[in-house]
Structure 1
Amino acid sequence: MAGQAGQERRTDASVASGPLAGIKVVELGSMYAAPTAGRMLRDFGADVVKIEDPASGDFARQWQPAHNGLAIGYSRLNSGKRSVGIDMRSPEGREVAKALIADADVVIENFRPGRMEAWGLGFKELSAEHPRLVMTRVSGFGQTGPYSARPGFGTVAETASGYAFLNGWPDTPPTAPPFGFADSIAGISAAFGTSMALFKREMTGQGSQVDVALYEPLMFILGDAVLNYTSSGTIMQRHGNASGAASPRGIYEAADGRWLSIAASNQSIALRLFEAMGRPELKDDGRFATNTARMANNEAMQQIVIDWVRSYPRDEALAILDEHEVVAAAVNDAKDVTQDPHFRERTLVELANTVLGPALMPGPILHMDDYTGPTYDGVAAIGEHTREVLVDQLGMDADEVGRLAAAGVLSN
């Protein structure tokens, strides 16, 4: 068996009660966006079979950071999936993949547009044989349009969408995030689209093609910038930690050198903040009485908040803000997050039985009152489930699987 050694894991019976229980997903995805979609579906009960190259696997297995040889990002997105090693460059491998797809409800893929069609695995070809199939396709610029053939990663999506231009301070260069931001949003959007397509299928009996471009969900989030320009001709600029829409808002340093955020983004919160700071007279000060006035005098408004936060240790300032129901929070690092009782109760889950040791990571992105969520037990080695899926599930001849494995077409 190629790749990182698998560890013995228990069957995850918890997903049997999920809303997507019984849905079979074939994931032809690598890196971040498509695997994120696969994880979202698996989180809510789907059985996800991940097709990987039998020798090298998903390239995300090689990403940093890693611990004891296991990539952190790969582990987070792929725990609970079954790995089947298939060389998609081989005609025989594609035939095996086609057999897997014939048994599936959903295919997720993130090849450059046209690749699946060149392999005879495009939506038109597959849906002709399997009209109930949902095919979710994630690519840099989408399946249509002048840029559809271009390659694209998250960094390109973050710049092309307008995000990087708006991110940062007025006197700093446009800034991309240090994590898979566009990929993650696109993956979540792809899972949403897949769920809608499955719902439609229940109504009509017909599958659908879901087309997600990496940049589009991010551009939706940034939509005010586009609407602002096309309506007024104004190009929104970088504001640092300010929003450019409401004041006061930002990240502030407390007396002990720790940081907190305050978002007085509506009038009632701003008035409560004035009370919390012991400055009720600001309510009647013409410079600060309304959001329009505060935005016009934002520098003076911010300085008042800066000075007040600097006069207290962070925990004390947060306690005062909480007492006055002002929207505020600590600026947490990863250690803060994992030690916070709220996050430990509601959000963080254990990734068990891996070389990472006892480890926590964020669980499902939403909660349903009749579903407790999955467990995350082990990370499959490359092709760990090839024989289990192909022989036991599809009924392929074991000798034929062995022959293809010996030829390098499959993992064994």
Structure 2
Amino acid sequence: MLDIKWIRDNPDALDRALASRGAEPVSSKLIALDEARRAHIVQVQAAQERRNAASKEIGKAKGAKDEETAQRLMAEVATIKEFLAHAEETERQLNRELDDALAVIPNAPLEDVPVGADEHDNVPYFGRYQTEEQAAVARPKKRVHPFAAKEHFEIGEALNLMDFEAAAKLSGSRFVVLKGQLARMERAIGQFMLDLHTNEHGYTEVQPPLLVKDDALYGTAQLPKFAEDLFKAGEQHWLIPTAEVPLTNLVRESILDEKELPLRFTALTPCFRSEAGSAGRDTRGMLRQHQFNKVELVSITTPETSIDEHERMLSCAEAVLQKLDLHYRVMTLCTGDMGFGSRKTYDIEVWLPGQNTYREISSVSVCDDFQARRMNARYRQGAEKGTRFVHTLNGSGTAVGRALIAVIENYQNEDGSITVPAALKPYMGGLEKVDA
């Protein structure tokens, strides 16, 4: 959620930011709602002051035996009390109207985010490599297959280890049943990622709930705007669309000590998404499913360190693909392709030879205090009495199912088998190949 004080001070900046995202200007509406709220507060304060003053005047009038004045003042106080009796509910209503309006406004992109309409306007990012040539040297090379590369589902089905028909009987479309060595490989990938991030990157492993309440989803900005993308579970809970939700909300309604920051959490969980806006896209295979596993990374930082933490988190996600020796590229998302709560997002796109294209396998975003305001997550600097909102970041470290797809397609052999990457062999009991 954006700060209404910042919006009052920078209305044109907000409208420009929204325009860059393809949204309509709203600063005047938000300021009008805030003005109504502030005017009511001033009115309440004036009424309280007048009530107190009139009460004293009543005593004086009665002391002077001026009954007419006393009665008039008593009638005035009664009217003020009636107003004040309803004023608290009116204030709650005005606050709610402003909060509801702010809750559906996306975050303002950072100044260096490229302006664009959609994924076609995203820009390659080379980061610490500075140039495309340096990045090409540092990143794993594309695998060259001396045969026509197949897609992951063709390979998995031919091995009889990937069953979409059985999954459809159980649950409908966009589900899969993995069996045998492919099921083990998927498990191995998740465990490999967790070990990497906890042992080498300093993240604390968490096993969070998979069911969360409305407040948690509101805190990370999935609600109220994206309810159709979620699965409701009973009257009070939702299935998590990503572990970002419970991990980030670990600091909700908290005041941290600056010495505790940064906090870095990771979790391997199932994720559940309705894919409401993706009808007809990626209907074959495992690329876009209602249920999938993902290793999530979340950082809680001070405002001064969040940009550096964003670069650090990107490098942690990149390390997964480097150790798996999978070719990839990094893109800076344009304003029109960024997530709702993000101020800047990097996408890591892995090369899939079966599709002969790059596909997203990780998104790494810095949100500034956008989520922290919704969660009321703060920290205190040293001995200062006041508090500041933390900054939050999240990223996939990475999507397990898509990493499995990438391994299958990149490590496929002409005989239909799949070579096990060196990084996964310890998790696969030393197995060299996945075959029938």
Tell me which interval the TM-score lies in, with the shorter structure as reference length: under 0.3
Which structure carries more relative contact order (alpha carbon 8 Å, separation 6+)? 1
Looking at secondary structure, tell me which structure has more helix per residue: 2
TM-score, normalised relative to structure 1: 0.21
Please say which structure displays the higher CA radius of gyration: 2
